[in-house]
Amino acid sequence: MKVLVPVKRVVDANVKVRVKADGTGVDLSNVKMAMNPFCEIAVEEAVRLKEAGTASEVVVVSIGPQAAQETLRTALAMGADRGILVKTDATVEPLAVAKILKAVVAAEGPQIVLLGKQAIDDDANQTGQMLAALLGWSQGTFAFKLVKEGDTLTVTREIDGGLQTVKLKLPAVITTDLRINTPRYASLPNIMKAKKKPIDEKTPADYGVDVAPRLAVLKVSEPAKRKGGVKVDSVAALVDKLKNEAGVI
């Protein structure tokens, strides 16, 4: 069974994001980039499926600039077998990503597409669902646990207030949540081996997909700074402020 794992290059989760002075976007100059944390989790889960003998091959794919090859190398060092870089310098929106991934699925023929539930740069949480709709496949979002049994996949999902278990027919699209696993650190020998693993380079045009944006970002701004709190003398005063000043009750 082949597993396809899309991964995204984003600003490192430990970096404080800065907004450009003109408000046109996030300042990416001299900023450390890394694999999206949710994508790391998806790669780890795919590699675990391979180690358990459930999957025979793990293919990672990234859509982005040439520098995204570094992200693919990270995934290869974690245990993926080969990579595909769909090279573009344009900002690719979730629908265009899903259309490209649909074409990659047609070319590769995986039974499972395993991806992070969202990227930490846009927090869209759309690509997995859109891809499942375009493919007409089963989908399991916010996965907490995966168990493959024959041609079905049992997915325990994280939902508000608890967990939900669903059984899906393969092929399927799965999006991973935080608590499904803890991604491994790639060892130095595996990092060296990853340099020799193949990465095919493609473009959106190779898959017949137009990545022109449908949305225009008008302005990007930092959140308003939080004001200091005040002390109240009684519960009645607290309730009064919550009702008449904060307007939350």
Residue 73 is predicted with a pLDDT of 97
Residue 161 is predicted with a pLDDT of 87
| pLDDT tier for residue 156 given thresholds of 50, 70 and 90 | very high
Residue 65 belongs to domain with CATH number = 3.40.50.620
| pLDDT tier for residue 249 given thresholds of 50, 70 and 90 | confident
Q: Name the DSSP letter for residue 230.
A: -
| pLDDT tier for residue 37 given thresholds of 50, 70 and 90 | very high
DSSP for 4-27, please give it.
Answer: EEEE-EEE-TTSPP-B-TTSSSB-
Please compute the mean of the pLDDT values over residues 78-99 and round it to a whole number.
95
Please compute the mean of the pLDDT values over residues 17-40 and round it to a whole number.
91
Contact between residue 168 and residue 153 where contact means Cβ atoms under 8 Å apart: yes
| pLDDT tier for residue 191 given thresholds of 50, 70 and 90 | very high
User: How many domains is the chain partitioned into structurally?
Assistant: 1
Kindly give the interhelix angle for 37-51 and 68-78, rounded to the nearest 10 degrees. 30
Residues in CB range of 164: below 8 A, 6 or more apart? 156, 157
Q: What average pLDDT does the chain have?
A: 94
Count of CA atoms in the C-beta half-sphere (13 A) of 224: 3
Residue 183 is predicted with a pLDDT of 96
Q: Answer whether residue 248 shows pLDDT above 90.
A: no
| pLDDT tier for residue 227 given thresholds of 50, 70 and 90 | confident
Residue 127 is predicted with a pLDDT of 96
> In the chain, what percentage of residues exceed pLDDT 70?
100
| pLDDT tier for residue 131 given thresholds of 50, 70 and 90 | very high
Domain that holds residue 10: 2-246
| pLDDT tier for residue 93 given thresholds of 50, 70 and 90 | very high
Taking the C-alpha atoms of residue 3 and residue 226, their distance in angstroms, rounded to an integer, is 44
Residue 98 is predicted with a pLDDT of 97
Strand partners, 64: 87
Please compute the mean of the pLDDT values over residues 157-185 and round it to a whole number.
94
Taking the C-alpha atoms of residue 137 and residue 208, their distance in angstroms, rounded to an integer, is 21
Number of neighbours of residue 190 by Cβ within 10 angstroms: 14
pTM: 0.87
**Which strands, in side-by-side order, build the sheet including 57-64?**
162-169, 152-159, 138-149, 172-176, 112-116, 2-7, 57-64, 82-87, 199-202
